Amino acid sequence: MQSLKGKTALVTGSTSGIGLGIAKALAAQGAQIVLNGFGDVQAAQSEIAALGVTAAYHGADMRRPGEISDMMNFAADRFGRVDILVNNAGIQHVARIEAFATERWDDVLAVNLSSAFHTSRLALPGMYANNWGRIINIASTHGLVGSVEKSAYVASKHGIIGLTKVTALETATTGVTCNAICPGWVLTPLVQKQVDARALAMGLTNEEAKKSLVGEKSPSQQFTTPEQLGALAVFLCSDAAINVRGAAWNMDGGWVAQ
């Protein structure tokens, strides 16, 4: 039985990686999907359509509040309302603070944090009207702990966990919930760039660099997969999760248990 039939899910940054994995998991449960992101749109749309649901797309740039507003209006016009909002779009920039380009700081904060404020404020009225909604913010282990050279990313991810808590408190007596998922390393295009940089800097093969990256932080020495994160998102959308509110749920091979 498909548990999300009749629901509409909007997943930001869902043309690749974790966002696409979560969109596919929600689609497999029958949810109609609104995709967003700058990757291969046609490929992502066909993967979702193959699961038997509609896959609409809006190309809003998550740095721009006006375009986010257009995307939310587009979703409401097309499907009536957004029932499940997954704030997933994210970017990374790696440099020490004194060398961190200020425009990169602004972009990381805008995409990773402010966009979730804008989508949430625009989705909540429809969710309240229907007394049902799920907001899932994709944070990171870097929302719970720091790492060198990732000031903007760590600040944005700590920030989105704060936003998650406030959203959860403001919705606490309703059928709307808000939670964060905190993945450890997931082998997506975002992380492959860091694997490539490590391979180059340390003279390693791609396989050696992957092992060295994941082993450094993750006691399990395993990458988390988009499919595993999709299954957690489906659980957070279930009736059984109605009292899970304001959680920052790590799926990280034990990274933050240390």
Minimum CB separation of residue 206 from ligand NAD in Å reads 16
Stretch that binds ligand NAD, among 1-9, 75-83, 185-193, 211-219 (CB under 6 A): 185-193
Phi, psi of 137 (to 5 degrees): -100, 125
Task: Decide: is 89 part of the binding site for ligand NAD (CB under 6 A).
Answer: yes
Residue 113 near residue 139 (C-beta atoms within 8 A) = no
Task: Decide: is 34 part of the binding site for ligand NAD (CB under 6 A).
Answer: no
Compute the distance between CA of residue 245 and CA of residue 242 in angstroms, rounded to an integer. 8
**Of 165, 77, 168, 192, residue with least CA distance to 126:** 77
Tell which positions 136-155 bind ligand NAD, by CB under 6 A. Answer: 138, 140
Q: Strand, helix or coil at 35? A: strand
Residue 71 near residue 37 (C-beta atoms within 8 A) = no
Token output for 214: 């994941």
- Say which amino acid occupies 234: V
Closer to ligand NAD by Cβ: residue 33 or 62: 62
Is 153 tagged catalytic? Answer: yes
Task: Decide: is 75 part of the binding site for ligand NAD (CB under 6 A).
Answer: no
Question: Which residue among the candidates 57, 79, 105, 153 is catalytic per the annotation?
Answer: 153
Task: Decide: is 16 part of the binding site for ligand NAD (CB under 6 A).
Answer: yes
In what order do the strands lie in the sheet containing 84-87? 55-57, 32-35, 8-11, 84-87, 133-138, 176-183, 248-251
Which of 111, 135, 168, 214 lies at the binding interface for ligand NAD (CB under 6 A)? 111
DSSP state at residue 150: B
Minimum CB separation of residue 185 from ligand NAD in Å reads 5
Stretch that binds ligand NAD, among 75-83, 94-102, 178-186, 195-203 (CB under 6 A): 178-186
Which of 47, 56, 61, 132 lies at the binding interface for ligand NAD (CB under 6 A)? 61
Strand partners, 136: 86, 179
Which residues of the chain form contacts with ligand NAD (CB under 6 A)? 13-19, 36-39, 61-63, 88-91, 111-112, 138, 140, 183, 185-186, 188-191
> Catalytic site residues?
153
